[in-house]
């Protein structure tokens, strides 16, 4: 598979930061700046940012893309941190290729399947007539008129680019929509990879990562619930948990100072 788009900053033990659905590597820039004693690798997930567009997208293949990137950079292992979908990618990497993962930080996501919750977003994005779009402000107005709140609309519009050919999406919107069921699911047995490229433990139904793990959840978010504890403990028996009161799913943006400190302290304690 093609090399992912990424940016590297700093020096020290490597940390790989993985953004969520509809995001890009800039989403976790503030955290990267806080990890002053580490080499930080911020990645555009496939079908996002400037990374390659994939027609098939599931967690085994996404996890392998991350570990292949480490191979390309001659990095034996790294701390993994991911938000939302990025957290699932990080968890999949830890379960399928634990030798690459020094520690794991998961931001507001659980190792479970979710019900669809982005139908309004997909509908609003698909309704935008990019050929006749004249400005970003027009795009914002149309998203707001489609029922998208302003914060989410501004976040989504970070994917909008404009050049001599007009407006277009950086992300592969059609590809994300086609793979959406895989992304909200949690199936590590699906096989989009050649058999000779699969981790030997991929077919196991009882995968677990015993290394140091931390889940940070938003106190007002419904992504990580008490009933998810059993799944966490089965798959990540060393998991620790922290709750950021007064935050939702975008906890890293709502309370960046506290979030960044929690992540930095945890990674430092497991260097």
What is the tens place of the pLDDT at every residue in 197-222?
444 444 344 799 999 999 999 999 99
- Burial group, residue 257, by CB count within 10 angstroms (0-12, 13-18, 19+): exposed
Give the closest residue to 212 by CA, choosing from 108, 112, 77.
77
- Burial group, residue 50, by CB count within 10 angstroms (0-12, 13-18, 19+): exposed
Which alpha helices (DSSP H) does the chain contain, by range?
Answer: 29-34, 59-72, 85-96, 119-127, 136-145, 150-156, 173-178, 180-184, 229-235, 251-254, 256-269
Single out the catalytic residue among 38, 48, 79, 84.
84
Q: Which residues of the chain have pLDDT under 70?
A: 1-2, 190-205
Task: At 248, list the tokens.
Answer: 């939702």
Express each pLDDT in 140-151 by its tens digit: 999 999 999 999
- Class of the domain covering 6-113+185-269: alpha beta
d(CA 196, CA 113): 27
Residues in the chain: 271
Q: What is the pLDDT of residue 69?
A: 97
Single out the catalytic residue among 19, 249, 252, 264.
249
Q: What is the pLDDT of residue 200?
A: 41
Q: What is the pLDDT of residue 2?
A: 52
pTM > 0.85: yes or no: yes
Give the closest residue to 42 by CA, choosing from 82, 85, 102.
82
**Alpha-carbon distances, residue 58 vs 74, 141, 190, 192, 234 (angstroms):** 25, 33, 8, 8, 21
Residues of the chain with CATH 3.40.50.1820: 6-113+185-269
84 in active site: yes
229 in active site: no
d(CA 188, CA 192): 11
Q: Find out whether 33 and 10 touch, Cβ atoms under 8 Å.
A: no
């Amino acid at each position: 598979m093609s090399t992912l788009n990424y940016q590297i900053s700093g020096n020290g033990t490597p940390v790989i930061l993985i953004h969520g659905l509809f995001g890009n590597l800039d989403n976790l820039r503030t955290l990267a700046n806080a990890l002053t004693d580490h080499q930080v690798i911020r990645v555009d997930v496939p079908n996002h940012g400037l990374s390659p567009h994939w027609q098939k997208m599931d967690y085994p293949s996404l996890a392998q893309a991350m570990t292949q990137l480490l191979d390309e950079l001659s990095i034996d292992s790294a701390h993994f941190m991911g938000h939302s979908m990025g957290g699932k990618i990080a968890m999949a990497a830890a379960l399928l290729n634990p030798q690459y993962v020094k520690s794991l930080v998961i931001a507001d996501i659980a190792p479970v399947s979710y019900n669809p919750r982005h139908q309004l977003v997909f509908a609003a994005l698909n309704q935008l007539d990019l050929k006749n779009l004249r400005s970003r402000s027009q795009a914002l107005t149309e998203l707001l008129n489609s029922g998208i709140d302003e914060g989410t609309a501004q976040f989504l519009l970070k994917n909008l680019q404009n050049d001599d050919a007009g407006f277009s999406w950086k992300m592969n919107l059609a590809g994300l929509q086609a793979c959406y069921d895989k992304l909200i699911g949690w199936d590590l047995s699906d096989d989009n990879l050649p058999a000779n490229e699969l981790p030997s433990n991929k077919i196991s139904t009882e995968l677990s990562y015993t290394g140091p793990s931390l889940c940070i959840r938003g106190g007002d978010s419904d992504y990580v619930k008490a009933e998810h504890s059993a799944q966490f403990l089965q798959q990540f028996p060393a998991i620790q948990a922290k709750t950021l009161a007064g935050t939702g799913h975008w906890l890293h943006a709502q309370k960046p100072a506290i979030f960044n400190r929690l992540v930095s302290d945890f990674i430092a304690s497991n260097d």
